[in-house]
């Protein structure tokens, strides 16, 4: 395929492309745009982010480079008259740049499916595992993302922790059915899967913890589920991400991720019953 | 050779049409007058919407809510979004340039339905005034331009109802316009002019109008049901009465995703007209351009739920919409590569029109890349409803459509007025806008990734500095409007006289005087079968009807 125009020699172009690719990968690996990762979900997310970031940087710099290069190289110099070259198209080239985006997009799609699967997105969502019966089966419960660690939860030591979340203008309420605890702050232990069933009392809200890379709307009349497994102790913001009224910006809470013993301590102090098999 | 002359019968009756500047305030049936009415009216609303954006950025220059009360902030936000979409971008990229250019491009003397056309325009000012005045009378809507129930049902009803009424009027205007464009492009073509010879903007408008006609009625129906929920306490979307709030989102996005293409496909078309003229090269890949427009139209109708990935959407639906959305990048990519190939090997005049068009390419590529990323469910669940999305769509709608509008004004101003704009001021306008725009919106990607949700009046203090950066960018954008306004007004009064065809363009709107006569061409409409025939050694293939159908005859 020849491009019948004065352009840099093929080798130079190739080198430029390789250089661009290397630079893109370097930037993707070294520029961090994300907050710390604090759930099993987050490192998987960051992997996807890095790949998309690298592809994005390469495409962006490549295309912008081409535009700027063309503008400089083919600019009309003072006193120059006449037209450019009469080329109306070039089928092989057009096929090439149909195929390249198609392949990139196909790759991105398959890769992100894999990521989604690893996040547990394809697992059927259940609330509270098998032995409890909080889930009403005829309820339409959708959404959320499962967690890769939920399978591990079959083993009793690491049974998932069920939490019922209620959102209202302009607060979150967390209810732990096991100890009948009602709290405005979410306490969760590291390493244990958490299963949240969320419902709104008034308008739509959303539960978002940037450090977990997870978000799920909380919808009136239609409970949603969100599962995650925290990994790093710390206090992270819970942010309402859906416009819910004048104080939407102030609708925040905190998730306190603690070591399991610390969590047990908090749980024991607040629990109304002593059914602490978790 | 017998050729029926394009519809002279549709020619506006001059006797009852006012002349001079007064006709711009009249119920004129002339498509050129209507086009400019759309443009100026849209620009005035743009200034209002821009002032509101300024208010938003002032509020966000500090992390606490201190500049205006919180509910006023939400009203300002809602008005800003609604005005920018329904009163600026949609009417201008469709109504203004569509009305002005399409009859020229198809070789007609007016649109197919001039009276409907005037009605479509005259729906806009009252709708816009109603929307804006609601702020002063009852307080305007405050549930965002998306008006999701139940919030839109529980916020003060008067403002929300006025919002619905004006969006309905604007939607009606848009539908009237769409029908008119389809009819004009398909039925009013000058005899001898084939579809595949039309300038690309016609294809863009055909595609856009199909989207308008298919999807806008769905929005209208949805908003009518919503208004019943508000005033008559029905329960379509009200969960307290057994309604379903998610159904609203599906219906809303069934319109509003196509709406983003309604805002950007015409811009694609305009760029395809502008670049070849100033690069002195044919538009690269005409046929693939046409197919990719149609592919975007088709795919654009089946991607709406990518706005609902966190709305309790089941996994299969998430996957379907991820895949469909990602694939839009393919036809979109083709168009961008074709534009770059149009630049390649040209003799490019680096004037304001080209700079804005190239600015559009740069900005839109970034917006497209973040778009493909957002289409991936696992990526989106983190950044949905955050400033990352705000950045994405401003790169598309401002960096894309608005840049193209400016580019188009620089390109067609001599046609509209017969005078040239000042190029140095134009370039200054470009650089100020480009820098301001990127300074305003690029940092917002980071804000979203790191935890700033959208539509908030207060935020975590750790984001203060980056928000202030963004506000400075907004200030630059606001300032950039001044040289533009000055240029526009100054050039009307004492700009250099441009002559009929200052760019030596080949598309038919330039093959007449500038500004054109009421009947567009004094003689018969020229048959332009090769609107992009730049750089051919033989004379451009512009046939004059009077000279019969022999090839090679030229008007110049
Ligand atoms: C390559 C093509 C594009 C893709 C793949 C894409 C993808 C997306 C996705 C997935 C979202 C939802 C993000 C979220 O809310 O979580 C979104 C939002 C948005 N996009 Fe795009 N987009 C593309 C092009 C466009 C175009 C052409 C426009 C407009 C002219 C546009 C305007 C918008 C707007 C206005 C929103 C935000 C809507 C809102 O929530 O208020 N996008 N885009
Ligand atoms: Cu909220
Ligand atoms: Cu969309």
* CATH for A232: 2.60.40.420
pLDDT in tens, B342-380: 999 889 999 999 999 999 999 999 999 999 999 999 999
Two structure tokens written together for B184: 């004009």
**Percent of chain B beyond pLDDT 90?**
83
**Residue having the nearest C-alpha atom to atom 10 of ligand 1:** B375
Q: Each residue of B226-243: b (16+ CB within 10 Å) or e?
A: bbebbeeeeebbbbeeeb
Ligand approaching nearest to the C-alpha of B296: 1
User: B-chain residues within 8 Å CB-CB of A27?
Assistant: none
User: B-chain residues within 8 Å CB-CB of A215?
Assistant: 310, 381-382, 384-385
A269 to chain B, any CB pair closer than 8 A? The answer is no
Q: Is B303 helix (H, G, I), strand (E, B) or coil?
A: coil
A241·B323 Cβ contact <8 A: no
Question: HSE-up of B370 (CA within 13 Å, CB side)?
Answer: 24
The verdict on A198 and A247 lying in the same domain is: yes
The verdict on A140 and A269 lying in the same domain is: yes
Chain B closest CA to A170's CA: distance in Å?
A: 13
Q: Across residues B100-114, what is the average pLDDT?
A: 94
The verdict on A97 and A160 lying in the same domain is: no
Residue B141 backbone dihedrals phi, psi, to 5 degrees: -60, 150
Residue A125 pLDDT more than 70?
no
What span, in angstroms and rounded, lies between the C-alpha atoms of A19 and A42? Answer: 30
On average, the pLDDT of chain A sits at 83
**Percent of chain B beyond pLDDT 70?**
93
B312·A66 Cβ contact <8 A: no
Which of A203-217, B215-229, B447-461, B540-554 shows the lowest per-residue confidence on average (mean pLDDT)?
B540-554
pTM of the model: 0.90
**Residue having the nearest C-alpha atom to atom 3 of ligand 1:** B371
pLDDT in tens, A33-58: 999 999 988 999 999 999 999 999 99
The verdict on A101 and A221 lying in the same domain is: no
User: B-chain residues within 8 Å CB-CB of A244?
Assistant: 151
What interface predicted TM-score (ipTM) does this complex get? 0.89
Closest CA to B134 of B167, B110, B158, B104: B158
Residue B522 backbone dihedrals phi, psi, to 5 degrees: -70, -40
Residue A152 pLDDT more than 60?
no
Which has more confidence, B210 or B556?
B210
Query: CA B413, B415, B420, B423 torsion: positive or negative?
Result: positive
Two structure tokens written together for B306: 């990518």
Chain A closest CA to B123's CA: distance in Å?
A: 30
DSSP state of A276: -
pLDDT at residue A4 in the model: 54
User: A-chain residues within 8 Å CB-CB of B318?
Assistant: 116, 121
The verdict on A144 and A266 lying in the same domain is: yes
pLDDT at residue A131 in the model: 40
What span, in angstroms and rounded, lies between the C-alpha atoms of B312 and A141? Answer: 8
The verdict on A152 and A271 lying in the same domain is: yes
Residue B12 pLDDT more than 60?
no
pLDDT at residue A11 in the model: 82
Which has more confidence, B138 or A246?
A246
**Facing residue for A74 by CB, picked from B312, B345, B381:** B345
For A:68-87, CB contacts with B below 8 A are 70-71, 74-76, 80, 82-87
Q: Across residues B450-455, what is the average pLDDT?
A: 95
Q: How far is the CA of B186 from the centre of ligand 3 (A)?
A: 28
A239 to chain B, any CB pair closer than 8 A? The answer is yes
For A:141-200, CB contacts with B below 8 A are 142-143, 145
Which of A112-121, B199-208, B258-267, B390-399 shows the lowest per-residue confidence on average (mean pLDDT)?
A112-121
> Which protein residues touch ligand 1 with a CB less than 6 Å away?
B 146, 260-261, 263-264, 306-307, 325, 328-329, 332, 368, 371-372, 374-375, 380, 384, 389, 392-393, 396-397, 400-401
Confidence bin at A105 (pLDDT 50/70/90): very high
The verdict on A138 and A110 lying in the same domain is: no
**Facing residue for A215 by CB, picked from B327, B369, B384:** B384
What span, in angstroms and rounded, lies between the C-alpha atoms of B206 and B350? Answer: 30
Domain encompassing residue A137: 133-275
Could you tell me the CA-to-CA distances from B303 to A167, B86, B256, B326, B372 in Å, in that order? 29, 21, 10, 9, 12
List of residues 6+ apart from B20 with CB closer than 8 A: none
What span, in angstroms and rounded, lies between the C-alpha atoms of A276 and B381? Answer: 33
Alpha helices in chain A (DSSP H): 10-30, 41-73, 91-118, 260-270
User: A-chain residues within 8 Å CB-CB of B376?
Assistant: 48, 52, 108-109, 112, 115-116
A219 to chain B, any CB pair closer than 8 A? The answer is yes
A29 to chain B, any CB pair closer than 8 A? The answer is no
First CA to last CA across chain B, in angstroms?
Answer: 23
Confidence bin at A273 (pLDDT 50/70/90): low
Confidence bin at A278 (pLDDT 50/70/90): very low
Q: Across residues B384-397, what is the average pLDDT?
A: 96
Question: Considering only alpha carbons, which residue of chain B is nearest residue A113?
Answer: B319
Confidence bin at A217 (pLDDT 50/70/90): very high
Two structure tokens written together for B95: 């109504």
A67·B73 Cβ contact <8 A: no
pLDDT at residue A83 in the model: 82
What span, in angstroms and rounded, lies between the C-alpha atoms of B42 and B35? Answer: 10
Domain count, chain A: 2
What span, in angstroms and rounded, lies between the C-alpha atoms of A199 and A214? Answer: 17
Which stretch of DSSP H or E encloses residue B129?
helix B124-137
The residue among A43, A65, A76 with the most chain B CBs within 10 A of its CB, best to mutate, is A76
pLDDT at residue A82 in the model: 80
Q: Is B233 helix (H, G, I), strand (E, B) or coil?
A: coil
The verdict on A137 and A114 lying in the same domain is: no
User: B-chain residues within 8 Å CB-CB of A56?
Assistant: 369-370, 373
Confidence bin at B89 (pLDDT 50/70/90): very high
First CA to last CA across chain A, in angstroms?
Answer: 66
Confidence bin at B8 (pLDDT 50/70/90): very low
Which stretch of DSSP H or E encloses residue A235?
strand A234-239
Two structure tokens written together for B353: 């029109």
Q: Across residues B86-103, what is the average pLDDT?
A: 96
A134 to chain B, any CB pair closer than 8 A? The answer is no
Confidence bin at A134 (pLDDT 50/70/90): very low
User: A-chain residues within 8 Å CB-CB of B315?
Assistant: 121-122
The verdict on A109 and A21 lying in the same domain is: yes
On average, the pLDDT of chain B sits at 90
Q: How far is the CA of A249 from the centre of ligand 2 (A)?
A: 7
Closest CA to B385 of A36, A217, A42, A45: A217
Q: How far is the CA of A187 from the centre of ligand 3 (A)?
A: 36
A56 to chain B, any CB pair closer than 8 A? The answer is yes
The residue among B345, B380, B431, B541 with the most chain A CBs within 10 A of its CB, best to mutate, is B345
Question: Considering only alpha carbons, which residue of chain A is nearest residue B282?
Answer: A88
Place of tokens 């863009």: B204
**Residue having the nearest C-alpha atom to atom 33 of ligand 1:** B393
B350·A75 Cβ contact <8 A: yes
Closest CA to A144 of A82, A89, A207: A207
Closest CA to B167 of B244, B252, B96, B232: B252
In a domain, A85, yes or no: no
Closest CA to B528 of B51, B72, B108, B151: B108
pLDDT at residue B548 in the model: 37
Atom of ligand 1 minimally distant from the CA of B368: 1
B338·A90 Cβ contact <8 A: no
pLDDT at residue A142 in the model: 52
Q: What is the 3-state secondary structure (H, E, C) of B338-391?
A: HHHHHHCCCCECCCHHHHHHHHHHHHHHHHHHHHHHHHCHHHHHHHCCEHHHHH
The verdict on A261 and A154 lying in the same domain is: yes
Residue B2 pLDDT more than 50?
no
Q: Across residues A266-275, what is the average pLDDT?
A: 78
What span, in angstroms and rounded, lies between the C-alpha atoms of B203 and B173? Answer: 21
Residue B34 pLDDT more than 50?
yes
Confidence bin at B472 (pLDDT 50/70/90): very high
Class of domain B34-545: mainly alpha
Q: Across residues B436-446, what is the average pLDDT?
A: 96
Atom of ligand 1 minimally distant from the CA of B264: 30
A67·B358 Cβ contact <8 A: yes
In a domain, A5, yes or no: no
Question: Considering only alpha carbons, which residue of chain B is nearest residue A221?
Answer: B239
Q: What is the dihedral of CA B6, B10, B16, B21, to 10 degrees?
A: -60
A74·B346 Cβ contact <8 A: yes
Check residue B353 and give left, alpha or beta (phi > 0: left; psi -120 to 50: alpha): alpha
What span, in angstroms and rounded, lies between the C-alpha atoms of B404 and A146? Answer: 43
Averaging pLDDT over each range in B138-142, B212-216, B547-551, which range is the top one? B212-216
pLDDT at residue B426 in the model: 95
DSSP state of B419: B
What span, in angstroms and rounded, lies between the C-alpha atoms of A148 and B416? Answer: 62
* DSSP class per residue in B239-268: GGGT--HHHHHHHHHHHHHHHHHHHHHHHH
Chain A closest CA to B479's CA: distance in Å?
A: 26
**Residues B178/B214, Cβ–Cβ less than 8 Å:** no
The verdict on A137 and A102 lying in the same domain is: no
Q: Across residues B299-323, what is the average pLDDT?
A: 90
Q: Across residues B409-431, what is the average pLDDT?
A: 95
The verdict on A149 and A177 lying in the same domain is: yes
Ligand 1 binding pocket mutation candidate from B389, B404, B455 (most atoms within 8 A of CB): B389
Computed over its alpha carbons, how large is the radius of gyration of chain B?
Answer: 23
In a domain, A3, yes or no: no
A74·B459 Cβ contact <8 A: no
Confidence bin at A79 (pLDDT 50/70/90): confident
Which has more confidence, B544 or B280?
B280
Confidence bin at A140 (pLDDT 50/70/90): very low
Residue A57 backbone dihedrals phi, psi, to 5 degrees: -60, -45
Confidence bin at B407 (pLDDT 50/70/90): very high
- Domain ranges, ordered by start, for chain B: 34-545
pLDDT at residue A132 in the model: 42
What span, in angstroms and rounded, lies between the C-alpha atoms of A219 and B245? Answer: 8
Residue B220: count of CB within 10 angstroms of its CB: 18
């Amino acid at each position: 395929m020849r491009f019948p125009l004065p352009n840099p020699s093929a080798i130079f172009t190739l080198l430029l492309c390789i250089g661009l690719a290397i630079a893109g990968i370097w930037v993707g690996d070294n520029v961090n745009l994300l907050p710390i990762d604090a759930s099993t979900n987050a490192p998987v997310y960051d992997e996807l982010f890095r790949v998309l970031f690298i592809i994005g940087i390469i495409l962006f710099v490549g295309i912008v480079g081409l535009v700027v290069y063309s503008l400089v190289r083919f600019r009309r110099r003072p006193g120059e008259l006449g037209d450019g070259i009469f080329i109306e198209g070039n089928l092989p080239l057009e096929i090439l740049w149909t195929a390249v985006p198609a392949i990139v997009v196909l790759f991105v799609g398959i890769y992100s499916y894999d990521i989604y699967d690893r996040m547990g997105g394809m697992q059927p969502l259940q609330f509270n595992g098998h032995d409890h019966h909080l889930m009403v089966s005829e309820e339409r419960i959708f959404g959320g993302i499962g967690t890769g660690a939920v399978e591990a939860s079959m083993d009793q030591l690491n049974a998932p922790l069920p939490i019922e979340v209620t959102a209202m203008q302009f607060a979150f309420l967390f209810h732990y059915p096991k100890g009948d605890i009602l709290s405005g702050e979410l306490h969760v232990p590291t390493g244990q899967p958490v299963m949240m069933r969320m419902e709104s009392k008034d308008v739509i809200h959303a539960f978002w913890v940037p450090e977990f890379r997870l978000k799920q709307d909380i919808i009136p009349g239609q409970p949603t589920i969100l599962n995650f497994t925290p990994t790093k102790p710390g206090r992270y913001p819970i942010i309402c991400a859906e416009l819910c009224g004048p104080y939407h910006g102030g609708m925040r809470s905190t998730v306190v991720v603690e070591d399991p013993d610390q969590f047990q301590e908090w749980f024991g102090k607040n629990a109304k019953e002593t059914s602490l098999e978790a | 050779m017998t050729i029926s002359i394009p519809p002279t019968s549709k020619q506006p009756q001059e006797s009852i049409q006012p002349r001079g500047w007064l006709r711009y305030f009249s119920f004129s049936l002339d498509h050129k007058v209507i086009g400019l009415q759309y443009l100026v009216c849209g620009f005035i609303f743009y200034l209002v919407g821009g002032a509101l954006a300024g208010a938003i950025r002032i509020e966000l220059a500090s992390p606490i809510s201190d500049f205006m009360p919180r509910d006023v902030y939400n009203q300002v936000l809602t008005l800003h979004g609604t005005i920018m979409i329904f009163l600026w971008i949609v009417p201008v990229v469709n109504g203004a340039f569509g009305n002005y250019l399409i009859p020229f491009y198809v070789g007609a003397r007016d649109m197919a339905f001039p009276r409907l056309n005037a009605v479509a325009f005259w729906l806009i000012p009252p709708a816009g005034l109603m929307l804006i005045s609601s702020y002063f009378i009852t307080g305007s809507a405050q549930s965002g331009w998306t008006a999701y129930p139940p919030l839109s049902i529980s916020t003060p009803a008067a403002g929300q109802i006025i919002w619905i009424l004006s969006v309905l009027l604007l939607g009606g205007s848009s539908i009237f316009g769409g029908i008119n464009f389809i009819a004009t492009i398909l039925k009013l073509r000058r005899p001898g002019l084939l579809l595949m010879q039309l300038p690309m903007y016609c294809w863009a408008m055909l595609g856009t109008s199909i989207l308008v006609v298919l999807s806008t009625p769905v929005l209208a129906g949805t908003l009518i049901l919503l208004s019943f929920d508000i005033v008559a306490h029905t329960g379509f979307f009200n969960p307290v009465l057994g309604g379903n709030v998610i159904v609203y989102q599906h219906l809303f996005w069934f319109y509003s995703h196509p709406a983003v293409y309604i805002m950007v496909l015409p811009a694609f078309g305009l760029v395809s007209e502008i670049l070849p003229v100033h690069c002195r090269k044919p538009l690269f890949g005409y046929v693939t351009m046409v197919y990719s427009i149609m592919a975007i139209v088709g795919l654009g109708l089946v991607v709406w739920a990518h706005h609902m990935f966190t709305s309790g959407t089941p996994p299969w639906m998430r996957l379907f919409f991820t895949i469909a959305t990602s694939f839009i990048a393919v036809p979109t990519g083709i168009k961008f590569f074709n534009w770059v190939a149009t630049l390649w090997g040209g003799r490019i005049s680096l004037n304001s029109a080209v700079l804005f068009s190239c600015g559009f390419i740069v900005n839109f590529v970034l917006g497209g890349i973040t778009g493909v990323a957002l289409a991936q469910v696992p990526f989106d669940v983190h950044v949905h409803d955050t400033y990352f999305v705000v950045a994405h769509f401003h790169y598309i709608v401002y960096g894309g459509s608005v840049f193209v509008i400016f580019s188009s004004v620089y390109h067609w101003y001599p046609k509209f007025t017969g005078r040239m704009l000042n190029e140095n001021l134009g370039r200054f306008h470009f650089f100020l806008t480009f820098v301001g725009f990127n300074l305003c919106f690029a940092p917002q990607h980071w804000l979203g990734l790191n935890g700033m949700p959208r539509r908030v009046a207060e935020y975590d203090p750790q984001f203060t500095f980056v928000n202030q950066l963004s506000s400075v960018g907004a200030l630059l954008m606001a300032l950039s409007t001044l040289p533009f306004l000055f240029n526009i007004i100054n050039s009307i009064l004492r700009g250099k006289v441009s002559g009929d065809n200052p760019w030596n363009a080949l598309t038919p709107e330039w093959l007449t005087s500038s500004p054109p006569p009421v009947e567009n061409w004094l003689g018969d409409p020229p048959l332009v079968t090769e609107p992009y025939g730049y750089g051919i050694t033989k004379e451009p293939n512009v046939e004059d009807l009077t000279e019969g159908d022999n090839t090679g005859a030229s008007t110049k």
